[in-house]
Structure formats: C-alpha cells, structure tokens
Amino acid sequence: MVHSSTHRFFIEARAAATAGPVTKAARRVRELARDSRATALVVVPYMGKTGRRALKELGVSWLDLSGNARISAPGLHVDVRGRPNRYVKRGRPENLFAPKSSRVVRCLLMDPSSFLSQRTITKTTGLGEGHVSKLVRRLEKESLIERNRRGAVKPKDCQLLINEWRRRSDFSRNHILKGQLPRKTGLARLRELAEFFDQCGLRHSATGLSAAWLLAPHANFRLATLYVAEHPSLDDLEVLGWRQKPRAPDTWLVVPRDEGVFHGASVVDGISCVHPVQVYVDLADQPERAAEAAQELKAKCLPW
C-alpha cells in the first residue's frame, strides 16, 4: 500500500507481463483495493500489448519500470506510452502459439477437465518429448496451466488460455486461396466444395463461420472457409465455376502452416469440421458476424 496526500494505491508487482501473471495479479489487487478503497495498480518491468489489453478489460491501472503507465484514479489520469523496453532478454523465446507449438494448447483445451501427462501430450500431438517439455514449462511459467502431484497438467483458466491463443494467432499467415463460387447460400457453397474434395480424396475440414454454423447454428453466413491439406487443382475448381478473386471473395481455401489444425475434426451433417476449439480461435480473424458466431459457439460447444 502506497499513500500520497490525495491518493492510496494497492500495488502488486510481477516479474513478467504475460497474460497469466498479469491477470492473476490484477484480479487479486483489484479485490484487495476494493476493500481498502484504494486504486489497484499492477507494476511490471515492461508492459506489452497483451498485458495492456488484459488490464484494460479488467479496469486495473498499471505502470512499468521502463517509464510507461496508464493510471486512472479519482481526479487523476496518467497516460505515458512509447518508452522502449529497458529489460529486453537475449534470445528468442519459444512461441507457445506458433502453428506447430499450438498443438499442445489445442490438446489441453480439447480435454480441459483432465490432467494429462507429458507422455500423453507427446503421443497425441506427435511432437518430440523435449519440445513438449519446453512448451509445458513455458505455459506453467505464464500461469496458463497447473500441475497435479504426479506432474500431469491441465489448463488453469480455459478462457484465459484460449483468449491468449486468439490474441497471438495470425490466420493470414496460412496460405489462403480467395475466390468466388456463385451459389445462393454459404451452406450450398460449403457443401459443394466439401463434396468435391471428398471425390478428389483431398483431406479437408470447415472452419470459421461455416464450421460455427454447423456446430452451433446462429446466423447465416456468406464466407465458406475450409482447410485443405494441400493446394487443390485450380483447373478442377474452375470446372465447378470457382474463380480465384482476392477482392470480395465468398470462399477461402486455406492450406495450413501445420496439419495440427485437423486434430479433433469430426463430421457434422456430412461435412468435416475442425474441433470447436480451433473454430473459436479462427473466428478471431473472420469477417461478417464472426464475433456473434464465436459467442454462440462458446455457449454451446465450449462450456467453460
């Protein structure tokens, strides 16, 4: 607790500004500050975009030791940004949500109530034991998972974990063929493409708005999005009437950077869909009514 002539601050310090530690600190200090009628304040060495977003959502003030701050209190507003990170660490840390690394997060979120051993995660994801061990340690360090006495792990806060994945994912880094297939509805477009890929023997699964509609019907969609394991033949697609068109497309054919996106896929109404966890993440980068679709999908398929 820090007092000035006009204000009182309840301060919680953290050595890292990643989502897990920052959110945990913010919730704790906010509760303590409410009881003492003080302003909650989180302090870190350097506050990045992820930490700033998390604290904004929680309504908690912050400052960092690099000279940046956003503090709101009665009669006081401080907003300082743009100061460089004075505590940059050497080396490039493992990206927990890179295409291949995200297999671990996906595996944990698909079975969030169970503690999984690292051996199980390794077998399920197809990653090396060393790689899995490194990712699990990082997830634990960021307070995104918890361990039991046997060392098995599970998500500590599923919503926090998947939101962090959504923030750090970039759907546009996949190879996306954007085009148009003149059909009356998005569903008709999706179904015809799925049948075409079935006939070609090309592995595929719907995602985004089209998969959300199949898994949790809410609102009609225009954009049909499908993951495909490899580039389809453009000549064959053109036989269907499909034309590559980057402007105003109604179909996205997506060759993923990692085949892990297909893990947990299932057939819904005759069409293969990726797991709801993957759909929810992908909706963060979809147009149209993606935000509404994500809320409906979460309510019906991700009971967290």
Query: Do both 38 and 130 map to the same domain?
Result: no
Give the domain-ending residue among 114, 143, 168: 168
Which of 243-263 are b and which e, b meaning 16 or more Cβ less than 10 Å from the residue's Cβ? eeeeeebbbbbbebeeebbbb
Cα 117 to chain centroid distance, Å, stands at: 23
Whether 188 is in a domain gets the answer: yes
Give the single-character DSSP code of 74. Answer: T
Instruction: Work out whether strand 251-255 and strand 175-180 pair parallel, antiparallel, or are unpaired.
Output: antiparallel
Mean pLDDT of 141-154: 94
Q: Give the three-state DSSP class for 90.
A: coil
Query: Do both 276 and 199 map to the same domain?
Result: yes
Question: In which residue are the tokens 């309504």 written?
Answer: 59
Instruction: Say yes or no to pLDDT of 158 above 70.
Output: yes
Which of 32-67 are b and which e, b meaning 16 or more Cβ less than 10 Å from the residue's Cβ? ebeeeebbbbbbbbbbbebbbebbeebebbbbbebe
Task: Retrieve residue 251's tokens.
Answer: 């179909």
Report the pLDDT value the prediction gives residue 197, as an integer from 0 to 100.
Answer: 96
Q: What is the pLDDT of residues 16-58, one digit of tens each?
A: 777 778 888 888 888 888 877 789 999 999 998 888 888 998 8
Whether 25 is in a domain gets the answer: yes
Whether 87 is in a domain gets the answer: no
Mean pLDDT of 95-105: 93
Whether 95 is in a domain gets the answer: no
Give the domain-ending residue among 168, 192, 214: 168
Name the region of 55 (left: φ>0; alpha: ψ -120 to 50; beta: rest): alpha
Task: Retrieve residue 230's tokens.
Answer: 């490899």
Q: Give the three-state DSSP class for 2.
A: strand
Report the pLDDT value the prediction gives residue 93, as an integer from 0 to 100.
Answer: 57
Query: Do both 42 and 132 map to the same domain?
Result: no
Whether 38 is in a domain gets the answer: yes
Report the pLDDT value the prediction gives residue 5, as an integer from 0 to 100.
Answer: 84
Query: Do both 49 and 119 map to the same domain?
Result: no
Query: Do both 140 and 220 map to the same domain?
Result: no
- C-alpha distances in Å from residue 120, one per residue of 96, 132, 153, 228, 275: 18, 10, 10, 27, 19
Q: What are the two backbone dihedrals, phi and then psi, of residue 259, each rounded to the nearest 5 degrees?
A: -70, -5
Res. 108 pLDDT band, cuts 50 70 90: very high
Question: In which residue are the tokens 């490039």 written?
Answer: 92
Instruction: Say yes or no to pLDDT of 238 above 70.
Output: yes
Q: What is the pLDDT of residues 113-133, one digit of tens each?
A: 999 999 999 999 999 999 999
Structural domain including 67 reads 2-80
Query: Do both 164 and 175 map to the same domain?
Result: no
Query: Do both 178 and 257 map to the same domain?
Result: yes
Whether 28 is in a domain gets the answer: yes
Res. 94 pLDDT band, cuts 50 70 90: low
Whether 30 is in a domain gets the answer: yes
Give the domain-ending residue among 17, 47, 80: 80
Query: Do both 284 and 219 map to the same domain?
Result: yes
Instruction: Say yes or no to pLDDT of 221 above 90.
Output: yes
- C-alpha distances in Å from residue 125, one per residue of 103, 118, 120, 247: 6, 10, 9, 36
Query: Do both 187 and 251 map to the same domain?
Result: yes
Query: Do both 202 and 247 map to the same domain?
Result: yes
Mean pLDDT of 229-254: 92
Report the pLDDT value the prediction gives residue 91, as an integer from 0 to 100.
Answer: 56
Report the pLDDT value the prediction gives residue 192, as an integer from 0 to 100.
Answer: 96
Crossing angle of helices 102-110 and 118-125, rounded to 10°? 110
Cα 221 to chain centroid distance, Å, stands at: 22
Instruction: Give the CATH number of the domain where residue 122 resides.
Output: 1.10.10.10
Instruction: Say yes or no to pLDDT of 261 above 90.
Output: yes
Whether 93 is in a domain gets the answer: no
Report the pLDDT value the prediction gives residue 215, as an integer from 0 to 100.
Answer: 97
Number of structural domains (the chain) is 3
Give the single-character DSSP code of 156. Answer: S
Query: Do both 248 and 294 map to the same domain?
Result: yes
Q: Cα(97)–Cα(106) distance, rounded to whole angstroms? A: 10
Mean pLDDT of the chain: 92
